[in-house]
Chain A
Amino acid sequence: MNQNDLNDSSLTNTGPVLVLDPDKSMRAHLRKLLLLNGFDVHTAAAPGEALEAMIQNNFWVILTEANFPGRNTAMILQRLREQEEEPVIIVHSNLHEPGSHIRHNLGKIFEYLQKPAPAHEIIGQIKKAALFFQEKHKHIDFFQRSKNRARHQLEWLLWQQQQKHFEKIHFGIDLISSIKHSLTQGMGVGALVTMIELLEMNLDREPRDQNKIDELLQKIIFAGKQVNTWLSQLENISSTFTKKYTQEEIEGNEIKKIVNQSLKDVADFQEFKNQKVIIEKLTLNRDLIFSRNLFSMILRELLTNAFKYSPDESSINIALTHNDRNCALVVLNDIIPGSKGIPRDSENYIFEPFYRISNIYDERYISEEFGLGIGLTVIRNAINHFGGQLYIYEVNDYATAMQPRKRIAAELIIPLKMDNAEDDQENVSRTEISNYLFRNDQHTNA
Chain B
Amino acid sequence: MIKTILAIDDSETMRDMVKQTLDMGNYNIIMAIDGKDGLKKFMHNEVNLIITDINMPVMDGIQLIKEIRKVNQDVPILTLTTESEDDMKKKGSDAGANGWIVKPLHPAQLLDIIEQILL
Write the residues of chain A forming the contact surface with B, with a CB cutoff of 8 angstroms. 177, 180-181, 183-187, 189-191, 193-195, 197-198, 201-202, 205, 216, 219, 223, 336, 338-339, 358-363
Contact = CB atoms under 8 A, between A and B. Distances in A.
B84 interface: yes
Interface of B: 10-14, 16-17, 20-21, 24, 54-58, 60, 82-85, 102-108
A204 to B, nearest CB: 10
Contacts of A185: 11, 82, 103
Nearest to B85: A177
B106 A194 contact: yes
B107 A201 contact: yes
Given A185-B82, A358-B55, A198 B13 contact: no
Which secondary structure characterizes the binding site on chain B?
loop
26 contacts: A180-B82, A180-B84, A181-B82, A184-B82, A184-B102, A184-B104, A185-B11, A185-B82, A186-B13, A187-B11, A191-B104, A193-B106, A194-B21, A194-B104, A194-B107, A197-B106, A198-B17, A201-B24, A201-B107, A336-B57, A338-B58, A360-B57, A361-B55, A362-B10, A363-B11, A363-B12
Which of B12, B55, B85 is most buried by chain A, counting CB atoms within 10 A of its CB? B55
Contacts, number: 73
Contacts of B14: 186, 191
A191 B82 contact: no
Nearest to B104: A190
A198 B10 contact: no
A186 B12 contact: yes
Contacts of B13: 186-187, 191, 223, 363
B63 to A, nearest CB: 10
Contact of B103 (A184, A219, A223): A184
Which of A185, A186, A363 is most buried by chain B, counting CB atoms within 10 A of its CB? A186
Contacts of A198: 17, 20-21, 24, 107
Contacts of B82: 180-181, 184-185, 190, 359, 361
Contacts of A216: 20
A359 B55 contact: yes
Which of B21, B24, B104 is most buried by chain A, counting CB atoms within 10 A of its CB? B104
Contacts of B57: 336, 338-339, 360
Which of A190, A219, A358, A362 is most buried by chain B, counting CB atoms within 10 A of its CB? A190
Contacts of B58: 338
A363 B103 CA distance: 15
A205 B56 CA distance: 34
Contacts of B17: 191, 194-195, 198
B106 to A, nearest CB: 6
